Structure 1
Amino acid sequence: MTPQEVAGMVGQHIGTSEWAEMSQERINQFADATGDHQFIHINEEMAKMTPFGGTIAHGFLTLSMIPYLGANSDTPKIDGVKMGVNYGGNKTRFISPVRSGKRIRGHWKLLEMVEKRPGQWQQTSEITIEIEGEEKPALICEWITQLFV
Structure 2
Amino acid sequence: MANPIDREALTAMIGQILAQSDWTLVDQAQIDAFAEVSGDRQFLHIDPARAAMTEFGGTIAHGLLTLSMMSGMAFEAMPQVEGQSACMNYGFDKVRFLAPVPVGAMVRGQFTVLDVKVRGRSDLMVRIGAEVQMQGTARPVLRAEWLLLYSF
| SS of the residue 1:14 aligns to | strand
- Stretches of structure 1 lacking an aligned partner (at least 5 in a row): none
TM-score, with normalisation over the residues of structure 1?
0.94
Give the AA of the match of 1:28: D
Q: Look up the match of 2:119.
A: 116
Separation in structure 2 between the aligned mates of residue 119 and residue 42 of structure 1, nearest angstrom: 46
Q: Identical aligned pairs, as a percentage?
A: 34
Displacement of 1:72 in angstroms is 1.6
| SS of the residue 1:87 aligns to | strand
Indicate the larger mover: 10-19 or 30-39: 10-19
Question: Could you list the runs of 4 or more consecutive aligned residues of structure 1 that deviate by over 3 angstroms after TM superposition?
Answer: none
Give the AA of the match of 1:53: G
Are 1:57 and 2:61 an aligned pair? yes
Separation in structure 1 between the aligned mates of residue 122 and residue 33 of structure 2, nearest angstrom: 37
Q: Look up the match of 2:23.
A: 19
Q: How many residues align?
A: 148
Separation in structure 1 between the aligned mates of residue 139 and residue 12 of structure 2, nearest angstrom: 30
Give the AA of the match of 1:56: I
Q: Look up the match of 2:34.
A: 30
| SS of the residue 1:137 aligns to | coil
Displacement of 1:31 in angstroms is 0.5
State whether residues 112 and 123 of structure 1, in contact with CA within 8 Å, keep that contact through their aligned partners in structure 2.
yes
- Stretches of structure 2 lacking an aligned partner (at least 5 in a row): none
- CA displacement, residues 92-115 of structure 1 (integer Å, 9 cap, x when unaligned): 110111101111001111001111
Separation in structure 2 between the aligned mates of residue 134 and residue 26 of structure 1, nearest angstrom: 22
- Aligned alpha-carbon RMSD (Å): 1.1
Give the AA of the match of 2:91: G
